[in-house]
Amino acid sequence: IYDDIDKLEWLPAIEEKYEVTGDGKLYQAGISENGNYVTKYLGGIAILQAPFFALGHVIAKFTDYPADGFSSPYQWALAFGAFCYAMLSLFGLRHILLRYFDDKPVALTLLLLFLASNVLQYISIDSAMSHVYILPLYVLLIYGTMKWHEEPAMKWVAMVGLLMGVAVISRPTEALMVLIPILWNTHSKESKKAKWALVKANMKHVYVAGVFGVLGILPQLIYWKINAGTWIFNVGSKWVFANPWFRVLFGFTNGWFIYTPVAILFIVALFYIKKFPFRYAVITFCILNIWVVIAWFDWRYGATYSTRALCQSYPILALALGALIQRSYKGAMKYVWVLGSLVLIGVNLFQIPQYNSTILFQRDMSAYYYSGVFLDADPTPLDMARLDNSEELSSESGYIKTEIAEVSNLKLAANANEAANLSSKILPTLQGDCWLKIEGVLKIDSGYHSVYIYAEVYGKDSVKYAKVRLHNPISTAGEANPYMFYIEVPQELEANKVNVYTSSEGRLVGEADSFKVTRLVKD
C-alpha cells in the first residue's frame, strides 16, 4: 500500500489514528545495521493472512473505509480468516480421526479440543495472533504424512515440506513438527523396519521435501536480505533449556494445566496410543515441544490465556485424546465422559470472558486470588485485594467493631517521595484476636496504574503492613472506585498506631470520596 517496507514513514500517521504499537513505542520492529527497519515477527503469518488481507483491501476500496491496511474491513477480514482456518482444522482433523476412531469418540474429542481448551480464545478474540493460522498446518501435515505412508507419492512430500517451511517462518519452534513424518509408523519393530525400507526406496522424496521446505522459508530470507542486507537476521528470542519454567504448566499465572484442565487428559492419553502408527511421533513431539515452550525466557508469553504457545499443536495431541476416549467410552463411562466434558467446556466458556474483562489477570495471578474469583462473574473489591494481600477475615461475626478513623473529600497529591495520608491514628494497645478493616472510595486522575494503598500497624519495635493496588480488574481510571482489605494484628506486635496512605511511583492526583478504618476485636 505504501511502497515502504524499510523506513516506515507511514507509521506516525497510522499510529496517531489507530495506536498500533500499543504504548507509543515501536517494539514490533528494530533498526538493522544498514538503517532499515526490520520487523521482529517472521512473515509466515502474513503469507497465511494475505488472501484475507486482500479481501479487506478490496472491501475498503469499494466502500467509504480508508484503504490504509488498518481500518475495519482489514480487521474483520483477518478475523474471518482465522475462523476459516479454524473450520478447515476442525473438519480436516475430523477426517483424520475417523480413520482410527469411532464417530462418537471423535465428536467428543473435537468438542473438547475446540470448546474446552484455550484455542477458542485465539479463534474468537485474539485471532490476529499466529496460533489459529498455524493450526491447519498441523492438520495438513498429519494428513500428508498419513497419505504418504499409505501411498508414497511426490505430491505428499512436497506438501509436507512446504507446510513445514511456512510453519517455521510463522513460529521457528514449529520446526519440531518434522518429528511427525520422521517417527510416523515406528511404533513396533516390524513397522519401523517397513518404514525405513519405504524411505530407502523413495529417497528422491526426501530431497523433494527438503527443497519444498526451503521454498517455504525463502520469502523470509528474501525479506531479510532486502531490508537487513543479510540472509539471516537475529530477531532476539532466547531460551533457557537447562532451567525451564515449570510454572508455565502448573503456575496460576497462565498455567496450562490450571486454565486448560483438559490438557491433563492430553498427557494421560499418551499412555493409550501404544498400538497406533503415530505413537512415537506424538510422544516425542509432545515432550520436546512442551520443553521448548516452557524454556522460553519470557515464561508469561506476554498477554495469554493459559499457555498459548502450545495450542496450535493441539491436532497432534488430538490423536492421543481420541485414543483415550475410544478406549474408555463404554458402558457407564460414556456418561462420565459426557458430564465431564460439559463441565470442562462450561468452565472454559466462563473463564474466557473473565480473561477478556481482565478478572483473570494476565500477569499477577495467584492461587489465593484465583480461588476468590473462580467462576465469579461479579467479584468484589475484597476479592480484588487478593492480588496483593494474602490476609482476609472470613467472617466478622463475633467481633466488636470500632470505627477509629474516617476521612472524606480528601485531595490526594503525592510524588515519588511523598505519601498521601488517608488516616493516621494512635490506638490503645491492641492484643489478642484483632483485625483492621480498611475500606473506602478513591478517584485517581493521574498516576492510577502505579498507586497502592498501604496500611501499616506499628508496635514498640516492629511494624506490619499490607497493600492493595488501585488498578485492578473491576476499577476504572478517573472514576470513583471502591476498595477494601484486611490486615491482621499479630498478638506479639502490641500495636499502638495505624497509618493508611497511598503511595505512587510518579505523580499522583486524585481524591478520597470516603475512607475509614475499622477495628475488629474478638468478643
Predicted local distance difference test score (pLDDT) of residue 345: 98
pLDDT at 491 over 60: yes
pLDDT classification of 124: cutoffs 50, 70, 90: very high
Predicted local distance difference test score (pLDDT) of residue 53: 97
pLDDT classification of 513: cutoffs 50, 70, 90: confident
pLDDT in tens, 203-223: 999 999 999 999 999 999 999
Predicted local distance difference test score (pLDDT) of residue 420: 66
> Quick check: 447 and 507 in contact, CB under 8 A?
yes
Amino acid at 43: G
Cell numbers given for 314: 493441539
Cell numbers given for 150: 499409505
For residues 43 and 228, what is the distance between their CA atoms, to the nearest angstrom? 14
Percent of the chain beyond pLDDT 90? 71
pLDDT classification of 266: cutoffs 50, 70, 90: very high
Predicted local distance difference test score (pLDDT) of residue 458: 83
Nearest to 249 by CA among 233, 236, 237, 266: 266
pLDDT in tens, 418-430: 566 777 777 666 6
For residues 50 and 69, what is the distance between their CA atoms, to the nearest angstrom? 11
pLDDT classification of 9: cutoffs 50, 70, 90: very high
Sign of the C-alpha dihedral computed for residues 245, 286, 122 and 49 taken in this order: positive
For residues 226 and 218, what is the distance between their CA atoms, to the nearest angstrom? 12
Rg over CA atoms, the chain: 28
pLDDT at 410 over 70: no
pLDDT at 50 over 70: yes
pLDDT at 31 over 60: yes
Q: What is the mean pLDDT of the chain?
A: 91
Predicted local distance difference test score (pLDDT) of residue 251: 94
pLDDT in tens, 79-118: 999 999 999 999 999 999 999 999 999 999 999 999 999 9
* 396 contacts: CB under 8 Å, gap ≥ 6: 437, 520
Predicted local distance difference test score (pLDDT) of residue 407: 72
What is the pLDDT averaged over residues 244-267? 95
Amino acid at 485: F
pLDDT in tens, 292-351: 999 998 888 888 899 999 999 999 999 999 999 999 999 999 999 999 999 999 999 999
Predicted local distance difference test score (pLDDT) of residue 250: 95
Nearest to 223 by CA among 90, 39, 414: 39
Cell numbers given for 491: 498478638
> Quick check: 170 and 45 in contact, CB under 8 A?
yes
Cell numbers given for 238: 532466547
pLDDT classification of 413: cutoffs 50, 70, 90: low
Predicted local distance difference test score (pLDDT) of residue 71: 96
Chain-centre distance for alpha carbon 459: 44
pLDDT classification of 498: cutoffs 50, 70, 90: confident
Amino acid at 144: G
Q: Output the pTM of the full model.
A: 0.91
Predicted local distance difference test score (pLDDT) of residue 461: 77
| Among 247-256, 309-318, 397-406, 481-490, the least confident range | 397-406
Predicted local distance difference test score (pLDDT) of residue 359: 93
- Please tell me which of 188-192, 315-319, 427-431, 518-522 the model is most confident about, judged by mean pLDDT: 315-319
Predicted local distance difference test score (pLDDT) of residue 462: 81
Chain-centre distance for alpha carbon 271: 27
pLDDT at 417 over 60: no
What is the pLDDT averaged over residues 443-465? 81
Nearest to 165 by CA among 228, 218, 87: 218
> 143 — phi, psi (to 5°)?
-65, -45
Residue with cell string 493521574: 446
> 451 — phi, psi (to 5°)?
-95, 140
